[in-house]
Structure 1
Amino acid sequence: MEANKIAITDEALRRGAEEGMDGFLKVFIDKYLEVTGGVINAETMPLLNGCQHSLLGYHFLREEINEGGFVQLIQNGYGPYIFDNPFAKAMRMFGAKELARLIYSAKKIYDENRADLEKDRDDEEFMAMYEQYEAFDDLEEEFMDLEELITAQIAEYVDDHIEEFAEIV
């Protein structure tokens, strides 16, 4: 699989790697956000390949879960990006098997309640969703417990398959 002409300088990669696995992954993610304008839609989907989308998906998943859980992830429009694409399968391929299992569990809740979960809501209705969808709580807690390990597994996969994520120049 060839990266979709996404070039990252060797120096940027070296600087990122010096900051650890988060910094290393951030170099790629920042580039993908730049290329897509931070928007994932029919126009921007073809700009990235499957591996690039999977890494970007992990970024959105991590940000949203850490801030407001699966409810926020879905309310902010990332449900289809995570659950309707082979994201969980990619995470398993990346070595993050526990994350793949978590995503499949969350997808089951998502699929059963999709219309309600994606409905536009005011702030009060949004906050009430956390009580309504407590089924996500254990999954979010498990994600937070495993986040460092998962990030390390993904960083290792990216490092071992770098050509699938960017062209290093």
Structure 2
Amino acid sequence: MKIEIQEIKLQEAASQGTDTFLNLIHDTILNAVGGEVNAETLPLLNGEQITLLAYYILREEVMDGGFIQLIHNGYGPFIFLNPFAKAMRLWGAHDFSKLVYKGRKLFEEHEKELTAECNDEEFMALFEQYPQFDDLDDEFVEMEEEVSDIIAHYVDEHLEQFVAVAK
């Protein structure tokens, strides 16, 4: 699927910083597939685009409620059972890639418990039952800005893999 972005918009976003630049690319890709990442829209995207969307999902979920929330909300298989960690390593985010692999190990050990239906009280209890995720959460929060910068640099260097620039 060809996803176009106006060159002027790209230049404006880049001049406002890496977050604005990355958000523009992400939002453009997401809007091109109707604002949803699902089984119907994923085949419309290439691996690079999917990886960027996956990073945004991970970042949003972990910054909001940690890896436990990411897994409980059903994103565990999407993040941990796909080559996301490998892609992050290839994009230059080596420490983050290692963190995702640590998360995968914990996901595989506790998937059943973390994905079970539960009420709010039971969900909150998961954080006490699985404190090993706290370290992962803290580590991600500390590295998030650097990881986003690395990803923005990668996207900038490989822009044609993400969007087509229209004059």
TM-score greater than 0.5 by the shorter chain: yes
Shift of 1:133: 1.6
Question: After superposition, what is the alpha-carbon deviation per residue over 1:10-40, rounded to whole angstroms, capped at 9, x for unaligned?
Answer: 1221121122111011011111221233332
Aligned to 1:79: 76
Aligned to 2:114: 117
Q: 1:5 aligns with which of 2, 10, 14?
A: 2
Count of residues in correspondence between the two structures: 166
Shift of 1:148: 1.1
Question: After superposition, what is the alpha-carbon deviation per residue over 1:44-80, rounded to whole angstroms, capped at 9, x for unaligned?
Answer: 1112110001111111111111110011111222111
Q: 2:42 aligns with which of 26, 41, 45?
A: 45
Distance in 1 of aligned mates of 2:93 and 2:2: 26
On the 8 A contact 2:30/2:37 being kept in 1, the answer is no
Please identify, of 82-91 and 35-44, the stretch whose mean Cα deviation from structure 2 is larger. 35-44
Residue 49 of structure 2 aligns to a residue in which SS? helix
Q: 2:11 aligns with which of 7, 10, 14?
A: 14
Compute the RMSD of aligned alpha carbons: 1.1
Stretches of structure 2 that go unaligned for 5 or more consecutive residues are none
Q: Percent identity?
A: 50
Structure 1 length normalisation: TM-score? Answer: 0.94
| Runs (4+) off by over 4 Å | none
Please identify, of 154-163 and 27-36, the stretch whose mean Cα deviation from structure 2 is larger. 27-36
Distance in 2 of aligned mates of 1:39 and 1:122: 26
User: Does 2:140 match 1:143?
Assistant: yes
